[in-house]
A and B are shown apart, each in its own frame.
Chain A
Amino acid sequence: MSDATIPGEPMIAVSALRKSFGQNVVLHDVSLDVPQGGVTALIGPSGSGKSTLLRCINLLERPDGGSLRVDRTVLDFDRVGRKSALPARALAEIRAEAGMVFQSFNLFPHMSVIENVASGPIYVRRIPRATAMERARALLDRVGLAHRADASPAMLSGGQKQRVAIARALAMDPRIMLFDEATSALDPALVGEVLSIMRTLADDGMTMIVVTHEMAFARDVADEVVFMADGYVVERGAARQVIEAPNEARTKEFLRHFHLGASA
């Protein structure tokens, strides 16, 4: 895997990224680096801009300024005029390299579970259907859902849906994975099965940014924790240090609301 990366450079480099919705400035010059194989947990109160940052990284939202690099693909939003279209090639490359998992799963309800997983390879990579389905089955096996391959997503539990969504993202062979509160919509009893898959991915060396309210998971699985509030990065550091002994008052205040148990 390391052959395609730039030696010594982080896998994800976000630099002075700015984003507003109308008058509302949501990201103020946010910078963030994740080394290859690194796991960064992004924490912070609701409305602090965590989702917007993730969405900017795979260009579901268009940043207003700053620059972004994912693996070898660089986009400088100060140079691309605000009105002109982003270079299609860079956009496609970044989207293909970044897998994203949403809080609300967003499975395609008109396709079976296995068709969901194979949809990217078939419709984006134009891989022959039979090959794509075979690979999709292997991925479903990896998330423990091979036996549900032909079910409709509507028949699955929330935890199963999210595992399918992870398999769907992995089917594109992404170099990074972005998780946006992947377990927040789940019954507490189903959180563990999703976290354990995320932990396995991290152990296998996937580069990940994980927006989460599971502080034990952030502490135990992430390398670095970044605390955001009101569109600013307030504090960042080694996971255990930020979660257990934060420096900033706002971080302390925020973390007071969480009881740390054992992670999944």
Chain B
Amino acid sequence: MHYHWDFAQIWHYAPLFRTGIEYTLGFTLVSMLCGMALGLVLALARRTGFRPLTLPLGLFAEIFRCTPALVQLVWFYYALPVLLGISLSPATAALMALSIYGGVFYAEIFLSGLANIEPGQWDAGRALGMTPAVLMLRIILPQALRRMRGPLVSQGVLQLKNTSLVSVVTVPDLVYQGQLVASATYRPLEVYSTIAVIYFCLLFPLTQAARLLDRGVA
């Protein structure tokens, strides 16, 4: 155990880490937004109870829930283009995989959030003559979102960590950039320690803020 830690060299590569952080945050944000939009559509479609719709969507969701995100990512990059006869950039394939993977989990969160709203709230809105869209937007979603905040933050945290997978298809996120720095400096221990600290610094404030918010409203 005479390893000599040396972080000095790593500093020279700060701009590479910076790019990595930007990609990681960018991919998190975009895949979260796309994932939530997809999740909302999936959840609303499944709530219709219309079997020709709910059965295939349920199967679709289970496929993405029960296979690893890494496998999906690689599959979207290598297999999907062959199947469809198109070409996908690494970034597009990665975003699609991460968004869909997140989306099926967001759908579960939305479904249980909606199921938790008392039936009387729907009755009251409908009795006033609200259309389904207005009722959802003005009455149900505001209440459901408040209750879903905890699970949504957890999923957001996972979403950010999952972006580390995009490095396998050469998207220059934090991990990919770290690999570059590690091979340039032969200092993998320092590099991965640095990366771990960066991830922690990105996520810790988020989880703490969520906790404070929960306490403030509960």
Contact = CB atoms under 8 A, between A and B. Distances in A.
B129 A168 contact: no
B124 A108 contact: yes
Nearest to A95: B129
B121 interface: yes
B129 A172 contact: yes
A109 B124 CA distance: 12
Contact of A106 (B123, B129, B142, B146): B123
Nearest to A101: B127
Interface string A95-115: 110111010111111100000
Contact of B126 (A60, A104, A105): A60
B142 to A, nearest CB: 5
Interface stretch (A17-25, A118-126, A209-217): A118-126
B129 A109 contact: no
A110 B129 contact: no
Interface string B65-78: 00000000000000
A207 interface: no
Given A123-B130, A123-B134, A124-B129, A102 B124 contact: yes
B139 interface: yes
A151 interface: no
Contacts of B120: 102, 104-106
A183 interface: no
Nearest to B126: A60
A109 B143 contact: yes
Nearest to A125: B129
B143 A102 contact: no
Chief secondary structure at chain B's binding surface: helix
Given A110-B142, A119-B138, A92 B121 contact: no
A172 B146 CA distance: 28
B201 interface: no
Nearest to A99: B127
Interface string B125-141: 11111100010001100
Nearest to B142: A110
Nearest to A126: B134
A58 interface: yes
Contacts of A100: 123, 127
Residue of B118, B128, B142, B143 with highest tally of chain A CB at under 10 A: B128
A167 to B, nearest CB: 12
Nearest to B143: A110
A92 B135 CA distance: 14
A47 B30 CA distance: 51
B128 A168 contact: yes
B183 to A, nearest CB: 53
A95 B127 contact: yes
Residue of A60, A95, A105, A123 with highest tally of chain B CB at under 10 A: A123
Given A107-B124, A120-B129, 11 more contacts: A60-B127, A92-B129, A96-B129, A102-B123, A104-B118, A105-B120, A106-B118, A106-B123, A119-B128, A119-B139, A120-B130
Interface of A: 55, 58, 60, 92, 95-96, 98-100, 102, 104-110, 119-120, 123-124, 165, 168-169, 172
16 contacts: A95-B126, A95-B127, A102-B120, A104-B118, A104-B120, A106-B121, A106-B124, A108-B139, A109-B143, A110-B143, A110-B146, A123-B128, A123-B138, A124-B128, A168-B128, A169-B128
